[in-house]
């Protein structure tokens, strides 16, 4: 396959992802639930992965737009005063929860590629009366924030959707301050599954075909400059594919 074919395929996948999640935002606006996966993998996604207390803190539309495979706000162990960036923030559920955990001295950014999700997230934050937030339109491969501007990077079942994961990992490292940390929920494959076998279990926009294996995830983060990398499975979403907690630290300089 030539470079032009690869570029064209990546553009097609990005557009499929964009349309899938724009449609999910429109569905929420129309009173329906969003959806990440397709078929049997849906059991491992959505608002059931949040506690009842979290449900009580959130607008109904934020819960309905929850398409993730975990709860990264708990994974990241947020502290008062932290500045947090959520990659692929969707309807804003993790940004709202993060903003409350970091308190008035902290800040939470949400970054999403679709206008529809950014608009929905802003409305949800306003309904939740959370002021220490900002939602940005952009790509997780090219984060519109300065170098060393955040303490924590979180993400919920979005990195698997990227067609350029090394760029995502490099951007995470760039925007983190020295000693900053990563707390991500994502779909991760067993090392035994080839890319073709992952694609047999679900499509790219449905959070399955683009999943990295454990070894690929660990190697990618180390290559980007991270230390203390760990990948821990939490639940199954398909044969050989799992919801997982991914942690890493940007070494202090």
Give the predicted TM-score (pTM) of the model.
0.85
Bridge partner list, 2: none
Summarize pLDDT for 209-222 with one digit per residue, the tens: 899 999 999 999 99
Q: What's the CA gap between 25 and 47, in Å, rounded?
A: 15
Domain segments of the chain as ranges: 3-249
CATH domain 3-249 topology: Rossmann fold (3.40.50)
Q: How does pLDDT run across 67-77, given as a tens digit for each residue?
A: 556 677 777 88
- Residue 5: per-residue pLDDT: 56
Length of the chain: 253
Over residues 18-52, the pLDDT tens digits come to: 888 888 878 876 665 544 444 333 444 444 554 45
**Distances, alpha carbon 155 to alpha carbons 20, 29, 39, 85, in Å:** 18, 23, 23, 8
Token readout for 27 is 């569905």
């Amino acid at each position: 396959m030539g470079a032009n074919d690869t570029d064209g395929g990546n553009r097609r996948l990005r557009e499929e992802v964009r349309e899938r999640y724009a449609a999910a935002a429109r569905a929420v606006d129309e009173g329906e639930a969003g959806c990440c996966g397709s078929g049997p993998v849906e059991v491992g996604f959505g608002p059931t992965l949040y506690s009842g207390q979290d449900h009580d803190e959130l607008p109904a539309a934020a819960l309905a737009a929850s398409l993730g495979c975990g709860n990264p706000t708990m994974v990241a162990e947020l502290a008062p005063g932290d500045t947090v960036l959520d990659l692929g923030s969707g309807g804003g559920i993790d940004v709202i929860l993060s903003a409350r955990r970091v308190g008035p001295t902290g800040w939470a950014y949400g970054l999403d590629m679709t206008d529809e999700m950014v608009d929905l997230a802003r409305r949800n934050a306003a309904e939740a009366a959370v002021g220490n937030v900002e939602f940005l339109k952009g790509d997780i491969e090219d984060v519109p924030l300065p170098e060393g501007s955040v303490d924590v990077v979180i993400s919920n079942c979005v990195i698997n959707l990227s067609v350029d994961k090394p760029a995502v990992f490099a951007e995470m490292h760039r925007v983190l301050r020295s000693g900053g940390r990563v707390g991500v929920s994502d779909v991760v494959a067993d090392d035994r599954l080839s890319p073709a076998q992952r694609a047999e279990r679900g499509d790219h926009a449905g959070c399955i075909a683009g999943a990295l294996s454990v070894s690929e995830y660990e190697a990618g983060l180390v290559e980007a400059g991270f230390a203390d990398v760990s990948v821990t499975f939490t639940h199954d979403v398909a044969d050989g594919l799992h919801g997982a907690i991914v942690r890493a630290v940007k070494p202090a300089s």
